[in-house]
Amino acid sequence: MMLKIENVLSADGVAQLRAIIDGGDWIDGNETSGHQSRTAKRNRQLRQGSDTAHEAGRLVLDALGQTPEFVAGALPLKVFPPLFNRYEGGETFGDHVDNSIRRLEGTDFRIRSDLSATLFLSEPGSYDGGELVVKDLFGEHRVKLPAGDLVLYPASSVHRVEPVTRGARVASFFWLQSMVRDPTQREQLYRLDRAVRVLSADRGPEDEAVLELTNLYHNLMRSWADA
């Protein structure tokens, strides 16, 4: 399941984040590459673990926690500290697969990467190219979103970033481990949650059908989730 999640950051939030990271220490993006992706990756990345990266990452995590659609779709258990990358001058990231286990260097923090996320921080008209291309059995899905919007997609997918031939594409990216490991179960819970929210807004939270569906949602969570 791929999800487009709008307005994770407002225009002011994007401006605040860009003011923090734009003057930061940008280094070779292969700092966090695995063996396979290292040969495909040409971009720059905000130095992981720097004070700038910590400050910017906290802003992203705070915004995610205040975005119900993200929480409903991801059901996050653990989120890898957000990273930040920049593509320009033909830089690209060819077809690759994300590592199944992500470790935070120098700590005992690690996650199973169930989902990958890209939070766009440049307006799409400000650069050419730079589409995130995610492959699945239905073909290729090309994603280029307004600044402040996020795409959530399976970390198990083969994906790439097209060359940026004009301007600069700046984004935050990270991985997360979901409370619900099985992607089919996670999608069913997301669809059920959306239905409950729509019915609740129409009929009120005390409606008998709303209560029954809410009960079903939480009982499925009890059966499927690790917390």
* pLDDT higher than threshold 90 for residue 4: yes
Where residue 29 falls among pLDDT bands split at 50, 70, 90? confident
42 residue type, one letter: R
Q: What is the spatial distance between Cα 36 and Cα 96, in angstroms, rounded to a whole number?
A: 7
pLDDT of residue 58: 98
Residues 194 and 168 in one domain: no
Report yes or no: 45 and 83 within 8 Å, Cβ to Cβ.
Answer: yes
Q: If we measure between CA atoms, which residue out of 53, 44, 57, 187 comes closest to residue 114? A: 187
Structural domain containing residue 187: 183-224
Residues 109 and 73 in one domain: yes
Structure tokens at 219: 């009982």
pLDDT of residue 32: 63
Where residue 118 falls among pLDDT bands split at 50, 70, 90? very high
Distances (CA, A) of 86 to 24, 37, 108, 141: 12, 16, 28, 21
Residues 93 and 195 in one domain: no
Residues 162 and 208 in one domain: no
Alpha carbons within 13 angstroms on the beta-carbon side of residue 211 total 3
Q: What is the spatial distance between Cα 168 and Cα 126, in angstroms, rounded to a whole number?
A: 7
The model's pLDDT over 32-87, given as tens digits with 9 standing for 90+, comes to 655 555 567 899 999 999 999 999 999 999 999 999 999 999 999 999 999 999 99
Residues 128 and 189 in one domain: no
Average pLDDT over residues 13-28: 97
The model's pLDDT over 165-223, given as tens digits with 9 standing for 90+, comes to 999 999 999 999 999 999 999 999 999 999 999 999 999 999 999 999 999 999 999 99
Contacts of 183 (CB under 8 A, 6+ apart): 1, 114, 154
Residues 174 and 187 in one domain: no
Residues 132 and 26 in one domain: yes
Residues 171 and 187 in one domain: no
Average pLDDT over residues 150-176: 98
pLDDT of residue 143: 98
Residues 72 and 159 in one domain: yes
Q: How many domains does the chain have?
A: 2
Residues 165 and 188 in one domain: no
What's 61's domain CATH number? Answer: 2.60.120.620
pLDDT of residue 38: 59
The model's pLDDT over 84-109, given as tens digits with 9 standing for 90+, comes to 999 999 999 999 999 999 999 899 99
